């Protein structure tokens, strides 16, 4: 087998050569107007914004920091600017059912005018109505009516009185009513005088009195009716007088708003209400302070209250809006989305009316776009359900949560729902998108367009320059110092490192912007007017230093021999594995000793990590694959009579991932072949059942972790790391590692198969089966096969029962 060649320094980091940039500093670069690397998401956004159909709302998914907010805002704003300004919305009193305020749709800018016109109308009426009631005409007519009423009442009794007098009978007042008494010489006839009268006369008097009493009864019965009629006529007069004051004012307004039939109908209702409640306009505003139980009551609350119903509550005002609105709701609670009805305290009780209806984000965004963070909306109680209900019904209905959940039975207001024509754009992580798709049956119907933001873009010659322009734009937007081209190149390299790929560049703009800000700080601290690659490197180093307390402690303990890691010499059944530790967004690698012990057994490979439940499922899978590989390669025609135990030494937490499975295999092969493994090498990579080495993650951090251990002990020139060949394209190693490799002090080996790996580690050939199907003598594979054969034979011997013990 051809020996594996170490990787050349060029392969260890895809450098960005500053020389290929033609500019001196980012000042010379134009702003980047297009969005780079997000063509799929951009197309989806364009489609989602363009299509005007129900349910085509957008979900913009991707990792935070990829510039989703910025891109979405930019696209929406440029699209919205070309669209028409949506209508204003007002709530006005419903004079028929006060608890159901009416919604009025008005052309943009008309809402403010209507508010002003109604205020003016009220002001006019406050003077016009009292003036009308002060007029000579009204006062005279009212006096006439009252007099007429009085006369009508008097008249009937007066006639009766005169009729009685004609018979010498007087109508007299008694303690509880009236009576008819026969008179003689202005005095009531005494009983004796009455008795002296002839009988016919007495009978006549009695008959007359009886008849008069009947008439009196009738008259008294009719009095209330007469009074009602009189009052009705007075009311009609008052209506006429009010109408004379209101009519022409309302007519003017009707003419002004003639093109809006709903508004005209509203004015009709206002007119009727003003006429029916003219007294509200006649009340004196001055007077002593009103108090109740010693508490002064605000005159504004009492006096103005009756006229509040003629106000216009301008819910959405687009008088100064250009284009369609783009609204971002940072705090999407249920009420901040659908609006709310506020209350004011009056005499200790909470009261409300239509003027206290407040708009929500959906009202403000109606006719345009509403941007929401899905995580925030899901964290607010009932906000998600509220949003879905609005989107499904296509109308915004303002209900308090108490009402919506039927917790409160005293319904205060039920404002007329407002039709919704807005596109909602949700921003969120991928996980949330997929969870919603899976668990929420409504989600797919309401958010049909997904715009998926990439984390990285493809890297090539042109992209580096494009990226430099992106850097220039971000620096300018953030008002940072310009970067020289070396600094730009360093940022591009760091971007590839963030993407962990030589062929990709990270487009997580937040991280790049943070780096630029920190480099700017370093440059200013050093008194420079331009950011150089030194500043970028200082910023990177400083960031690592801020976060690497744990890494340093691990390195220190390895150095001090607390954590046992050999970096020279040889040992059987012991391999340096590599693992990564992720802490927030800082990840680092460090070596772990992996050991294997073998003995006669029943073919099981014991993973100690798994036995003590410190191994994750993927780790366990890797170990089980080893058994498959061993059995198939070395013992396919006989029992695998082996018992092996594998362990990550000195690990005290859970181990997950299969990137150590190749290291475990090498330790096992070394133990079986009894071939010592070079401790100057460390290994990473997973293995499959055919012995092929497969790619793993965090390759850069793993190499650097082992390099740091070796470097602190002194580089011998023997040390290096075996990595899967498939990971070579991911190598973006630190400059000091690349430097050491260039000087031959450290090595990185790309490995394709387990055979290649074991050869490097043991210095012995792996061996391939010859024509007879046998491995050549002295090769690792032969030694393993022989060992397994011996174990199988021993197992067979142990399995055969001795003769003596056979039953007779």
Partner 1 sequence: MTRHQPPVPIRRILLALDASGTSVSAMEAAVQFASRMEAELLGLFVEDVNLLKFAALPFAREVGFPSARTRRLGSAEMERALRAQASLAQTALTAAAMRQGVRCSFRIVRGEVPEQVLEAANEVDLIAIGMTHRQVLRVSSATRLIAGTTPCPVLLLPSGASPQPPVLAVYDGSPESAQALLAAGRLAKMGNGVLTVLVPDAPSSLRQEIATQLEGSGLALRFNALPRMDLSTLMQALYRESVGTLVLGANLRLQKGTLDELLQRLNCAVLLIR
Q: Catalytic amino acids?
A: 659, 702
In this complex, which beta carbon is closest to partner 1, that of residue 221 or of residue 546?
A: 221
- How far apart CA 509 and CA 65 sit, in angstroms, is 6
> Contact, 125 vs 335, CB < 8 A?
no
How many C-beta atoms surround the C-beta of residue 105 within 10 A?
18
> Contact, 380 vs 341, CB < 8 A?
no
- The helix/strand/coil state of 158 is helix
In this complex, which beta carbon is closest to partner 1, that of residue 176 or of residue 409?
A: 176
In this complex, which beta carbon is closest to partner 1, that of residue 209 or of residue 276?
A: 209
How far does CA 510 lie from the centroid of its chain?
19
Binding mask 91-130 for partner 1 (x = CB under 8 A): ----------------------------------------
Q: Which of 374, 367, 300, 313 is nearest to 340 (CA)?
A: 313
Scanning 111-119, 150-158, 707-715, 760-768 for contacts with partner 1 by CB under 8 A, the matching segment is 150-158
Is residue 162 a contact point for partner 1 (CB under 8 A)? Answer: no
- How far apart CA 616 and CA 403 sit, in angstroms, is 49
Select from 23, 47, 56, 194 the one that contacts partner 1 (CB under 8 A): 194
| Residue 171 Cβ vs partner 1, minimum distance, rounded to whole Å | 8
Is residue 348 a contact point for partner 1 (CB under 8 A)? Answer: no
In this complex, which beta carbon is closest to partner 1, that of residue 63 or of residue 195?
A: 195
In this complex, which beta carbon is closest to partner 1, that of residue 150 or of residue 235?
A: 150
- How far apart CA 346 and CA 326 sit, in angstroms, is 38
In this complex, which beta carbon is closest to partner 1, that of residue 173 or of residue 806?
A: 173
Is residue 131 a contact point for partner 1 (CB under 8 A)? Answer: no
Q: Which of 79, 91, 88 is nearest to 318 (CA)?
A: 88
Torsion sign across C-alpha atoms 495, 499, 500, 505: negative
- The helix/strand/coil state of 708 is helix
| Residue 131 Cβ vs partner 1, minimum distance, rounded to whole Å | 15
Select from 178, 276, 466, 764 the one that contacts partner 1 (CB under 8 A): 178
Select from 2, 22, 84, 174 the one that contacts partner 1 (CB under 8 A): 174
Is residue 431 a contact point for partner 1 (CB under 8 A)? Answer: no
Q: Which of 246, 214, 264 is nearest to 114 (CA)?
A: 264
Is residue 241 a contact point for partner 1 (CB under 8 A)? Answer: no
Half-sphere exposure of 455 (CA within 13 A, CB side): 12
In this complex, which beta carbon is closest to partner 1, that of residue 195 or of residue 716?
A: 195
| Residue 206 Cβ vs partner 1, minimum distance, rounded to whole Å | 5
How many C-beta atoms surround the C-beta of residue 620 within 10 A?
16
Select from 135, 153, 537, 651 the one that contacts partner 1 (CB under 8 A): 153
| Residue 226 Cβ vs partner 1, minimum distance, rounded to whole Å | 9
In this complex, which beta carbon is closest to partner 1, that of residue 218 or of residue 525?
A: 218
Scanning 12-20, 58-66, 153-161, 288-296 for contacts with partner 1 by CB under 8 A, the matching segment is 153-161
Binding mask 195-234 for partner 1 (x = CB under 8 A): ----------xx--xx--x--xx--xx-xx----------
Select from 53, 173, 185, 255 the one that contacts partner 1 (CB under 8 A): 173
Is residue 158 a contact point for partner 1 (CB under 8 A)? Answer: yes
Q: How far is CA 756 from CA 191, 613, 730, in A?
A: 150, 32, 20
> Contact, 620 vs 610, CB < 8 A?
yes
Select from 166, 175, 296, 807 the one that contacts partner 1 (CB under 8 A): 175
Scanning 105-113, 183-191, 529-537, 724-732 for contacts with partner 1 by CB under 8 A, the matching segment is 183-191
Residue keyed to tokens 């005209």: 264
In this complex, which beta carbon is closest to partner 1, that of residue 177 or of residue 807?
A: 177
> Contact, 361 vs 337, CB < 8 A?
yes
In the DSSP assignment, the letter for residue 729 is: G
Select from 150, 248, 525, 735 the one that contacts partner 1 (CB under 8 A): 150
Is residue 148 a contact point for partner 1 (CB under 8 A)? Answer: no
Q: How far is CA 775 from CA 251, 766, 770, 783, in A?
A: 109, 9, 6, 9
Residues in the interface with partner 1 (CB under 8 A) total: 37
Q: What are phi and psi of 253, to 5 degrees?
A: -65, -40
Is residue 743 a contact point for partner 1 (CB under 8 A)? Answer: no
| Residue 157 Cβ vs partner 1, minimum distance, rounded to whole Å | 6
Is residue 339 a contact point for partner 1 (CB under 8 A)? Answer: no
How many C-beta atoms surround the C-beta of residue 295 within 10 A?
9
Sequence-distant (≥ 6) Cβ neighbours of residue 269 within 8 angstroms: 95, 96
Per the DSSP assignment, residues forming a β-bridge with 418 are 396
> Contact, 77 vs 69, CB < 8 A?
no
| Residue 166 Cβ vs partner 1, minimum distance, rounded to whole Å | 17
In this complex, which beta carbon is closest to partner 1, that of residue 5 or of residue 221?
A: 221
- The helix/strand/coil state of 140 is helix
Select from 39, 43, 97, 143 the one that contacts partner 1 (CB under 8 A): 143
- The helix/strand/coil state of 91 is strand
Sequence-distant (≥ 6) Cβ neighbours of residue 274 within 8 angstroms: 125, 129, 242, 246, 281, 310
> Contact, 310 vs 118, CB < 8 A?
yes
- Kindly state the tokens that stand for 766: 């792996």
Select from 27, 157, 530, 542 the one that contacts partner 1 (CB under 8 A): 157
Q: Which of 421, 344, 416 is nearest to 91 (CA)?
A: 416
> Contact, 372 vs 425, CB < 8 A?
yes
Is residue 133 a contact point for partner 1 (CB under 8 A)? Answer: no
In this complex, which beta carbon is closest to partner 1, that of residue 169 or of residue 374?
A: 169
Select from 8, 154, 268, 654 the one that contacts partner 1 (CB under 8 A): 154
Which chain residues interact with partner 1 by CB under 8 A?
A: 139-140, 143, 147, 150, 153-154, 157-158, 161, 172-179, 181-182, 187-191, 194, 205-206, 209-210, 213, 216-217, 220-221, 223-224
């Amino acid at each position: 087998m051809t020996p594996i060649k170490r990787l050349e320094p060029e392969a260890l980091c895809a450098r960005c050569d500053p020389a290929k940039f033609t500019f001196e500093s980012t000042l010379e670069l134009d702003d980047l107007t297009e969005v780079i690397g997000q063509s799929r998401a951009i197309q989806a956004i364009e489609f989602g914004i363009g299509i005007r159909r129900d349910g085509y709302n957008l979900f913009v998914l991707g990792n935070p920091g990829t510039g989703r907010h910025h891109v979405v805002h930019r696209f929406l704003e440029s699209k919205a600017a070309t669209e028409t300004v949506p209508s204003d919305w007002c709530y006005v009193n419903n004079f028929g059912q006060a608890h159901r305020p009416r919604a009025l749709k008005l052309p943009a800018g008309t809402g403010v005018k209507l508010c002003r016109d109604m205020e003016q109308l009220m002001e006019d009426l406050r003077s016009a109505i009292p003036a009308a009631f002060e007029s000579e005409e009204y006062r005279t007519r009212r006096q006439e009516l009252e007099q007429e009423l009085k006369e009508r009442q008097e008249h009937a009794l007066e006639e009766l009185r005169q009729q009685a007098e004609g018979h010498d009978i007087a109508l007299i007042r008694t303690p509880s009513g009236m009576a008819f008494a026969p008179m003689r010489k202005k005095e009531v006839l005494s009983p004796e005088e009455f008795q002296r009268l002839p009988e016919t006369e007495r009978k006549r008097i009695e008959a007359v009195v009886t008849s008069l009493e009947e008439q009196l009864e009738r008259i008294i019965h009719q009095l209330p009716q007469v009074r009602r009629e009189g009052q009705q006529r007075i009311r009609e007069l008052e209506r006429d007088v009010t109408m004379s004051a209101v009519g022409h004012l309302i007519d003017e307004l009707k003419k002004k708003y003639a093109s809006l039939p709903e508004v005209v109908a509203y004015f009709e209702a206002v007119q009727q209400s003003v006429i029916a409640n003219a007294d509200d306009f006649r009340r004196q505003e001055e007077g002593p302070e009103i108090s109740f139980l010693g508490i002064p009551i605000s005159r504004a609350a009492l006096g103005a209250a009756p006229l509040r119903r003629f106000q216009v509550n301008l819910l959405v005002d687009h008088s100064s809006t250009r284009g369609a609105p783009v609204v971002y709701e940072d705090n999407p609670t249920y009420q901040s989305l659908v609006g709310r009805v506020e209350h004011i305290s009056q005499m200790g009780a909470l009261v409300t009316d239509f003027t206290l209806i407040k708009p929500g984000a959906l009202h403000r965004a109606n006719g345009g776009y509403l941007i929401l963070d899905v995580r925030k909306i899901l964290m607010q109680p009932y906000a998600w359900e509220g949003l879905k209900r609005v989107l499904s019904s296509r109308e915004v209905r303002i209900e308090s949560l108490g009402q919506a959940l039927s917790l409160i039975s005293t319904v205060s207001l039920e404002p007329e729902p407002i039709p919704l024509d807005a596109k909602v754009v949700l921003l969120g992580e991928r996980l949330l998108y997929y969870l919603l798709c899976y668990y929420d049956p409504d989600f797919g119907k309401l958010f049909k367009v997904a715009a998926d933001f990439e984390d990285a873009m493809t890297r090539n010659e042109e992209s580096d320059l494009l990226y430099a322009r992106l850097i220039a734009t971000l620096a300018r937007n953030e008002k940072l110092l310009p970067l020289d081209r070396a600094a730009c190149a360093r940022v591009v390299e760091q971007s590839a490192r963030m993407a962990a790929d030589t062929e990709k560049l990270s487009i997580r703009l937040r991280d790049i912007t943070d780096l630029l800000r920190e480099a700017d700080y370093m440059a200013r601290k050093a008194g420079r007017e331009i950011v150089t690659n030194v500043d970028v490197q200082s910023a990177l180093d400083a960031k690592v230093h801020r976060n690497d307390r744990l890494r340093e402690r691990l390195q220190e303990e390895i150095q001090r021999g607390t954590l046992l890691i050999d970096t020279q010499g040889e040992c059987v059944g012991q391999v340096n594995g590599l693992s990564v530790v992720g802490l927030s967004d800082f990840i680092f690698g460090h070596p772990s000793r992996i050991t294997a012990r073998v003995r006669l057994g029943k073919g099981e490979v014991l993973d100690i990590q798994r036995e003590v439940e410190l191994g994750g499922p993927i780790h366990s899978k890797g170990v089980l694959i080893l058994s498959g590989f061993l059995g198939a390669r070395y013992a396919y025609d006989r029992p695998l009579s082996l018992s092996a135990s594998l362990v990550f030494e000195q690990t005290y937490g859970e181990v997950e991932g299969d990137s150590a499975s190749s290291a475990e295999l090498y330790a096992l092969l070394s133990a079986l072949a009894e071939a010592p493994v070079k401790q100057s090498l460390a290994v990473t990579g997973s293995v499959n059942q055919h012995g092929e080495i497969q790619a793993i993650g965090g390759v850069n951090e793993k190499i650097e972790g082992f390099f740091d251990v070796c470097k602190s002990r002194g580089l011998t020139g023997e040390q290096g790391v075996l990595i899967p060949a498939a990971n070579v394209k991911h190598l973006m190693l630190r400059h000091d590692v690349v430097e050491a490799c260039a000087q031959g002090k450290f090595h990185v080996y790309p490995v394709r198969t387990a055979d290649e790996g074991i050869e490097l580690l043991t210095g012995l050939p792996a061996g391939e089966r010859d024509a007879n199907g046998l491995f050549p003598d002295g090769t690792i594979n032969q030694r393993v096969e022989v060992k397994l054969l011996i174990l199988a034979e021993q197992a067979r011997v142990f399995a055969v029962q001795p003769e003596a013990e056979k039953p007779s």
